Amino acid sequence: MDDPVLTVAGYSIVYDVEPPVEAVRDVSLTLRRGEILGLAGESGSGKTTLAYGIQRLLRPPAVITAGSVTFHDADGGSVDINALDARALQQFRWDKVSMVFQGAMNALNPVANIRSQLVDVFAVHRPGMSRRERVAAAGELLDLVGVGSQRARSFAHELSGGMRQRVMIAMALALRPQLMVMDEPTTALDVLVQREILQKISELRHQFGFSVIFITHDLPLLLEISDRIAVMKDGAIVELAAAEEMYRRPQHPYTQRLLSSFPSLTGARGTYAGRVGAGTETR
């Protein structure tokens, strides 16, 4: 797991408004192959902007002002993501790095059934596949994430929130990427469905070996599923440590406040009594 899949160095993003807003400030981190890196912080801390910037998904007035993002391919090559032209970037996304966007209902096309949306991914990125092969691959993906190929003709509004999120995971997995970025993938789901989604992510990660950047404001959740956690505040990473280390010995006052804001139902007020590493016990 020491082999890097992504290196971010001195990365900064500014929203070019009046006055300018420094959304991401001098961020540096390395994501290891096969690990889950949690990205935590309150709303407005810069975590989603960082994730979008890594994939060049930002729109004006956001501007990358400094730094580099390097993707390290499993075949030994490396890619400077900032240097990719539009065509190369289109081929890179979903194939090497995919994303599960926040709000599955809004991310899915409401007037196209699930199968057609999955088939479109293969049509764009795997043009050599026949129509029959694309349809078969879409069904296999739905079975893989627990939706079931029998729901392939369903539309987004006909599926529950948890099933829609599983469809988004299936879409992100379609081309077997080496890195998956997940932006608040369990937001607005009830706790039981959330647990099912997290378990499925863990199973798939073990099965296919991809890395995950998991974005959420819920630090206790990250303590359960992550190998390491980066805590962001005001656009900067203020602490980066192994989940176990952060739980037992948080160093930054902001991290300590985040942990104390999630009290145990049975423990003393101001302490977090959750389990660390519950999603990684099978490693």
- Per-residue pLDDT of 84-110, as tens digits, reads 999 999 889 999 999 998 776 678 999
- Does 59 score more than 90 pLDDT? yes
Residue 134: both structure tokens together? 């694309």
Average pLDDT, the chain: 90
DSSP H or E segment with residue 248:
helix 243-248
Core vs surface per residue 54-90: b (16+ CB within 10 A) or e: bbeebeeebebeebebbbbeeeeeebebeebeeeeee
Q: Count the neighbouring beta carbons within 10 Å of the beta carbon of residue 51.
A: 20
Confidence of residue 189 (pLDDT cuts 50, 70, 90): confident
Q: What is the pLDDT of residue 272?
A: 52
Residues 220 and 243: their CA atoms lie apart, in Å, by 10
Which ranges of 100-218 would DSSP assign to H, the alpha helix? 104-107, 114-125, 131-144, 161-173, 191-208
- Per-residue pLDDT of 213-272, as tens digits, reads 999 988 888 999 999 999 999 999 999 999 999 999 999 999 999 888 766 555 555 555
Over residues 191-204, the mean pLDDT reads 90
Residues 56 and 89: their CA atoms lie apart, in Å, by 8
Angle between helices 191-208 and 161-173 (to 10 degrees): 20
- Does 2 score more than 90 pLDDT? no
- Per-residue pLDDT of 156-185, as tens digits, reads 999 998 999 999 999 999 999 999 999 988
DSSP H or E segment with residue 66:
strand 62-72
Q: What is the pLDDT of residue 58?
A: 94
The whole-model pTM stands at 0.90
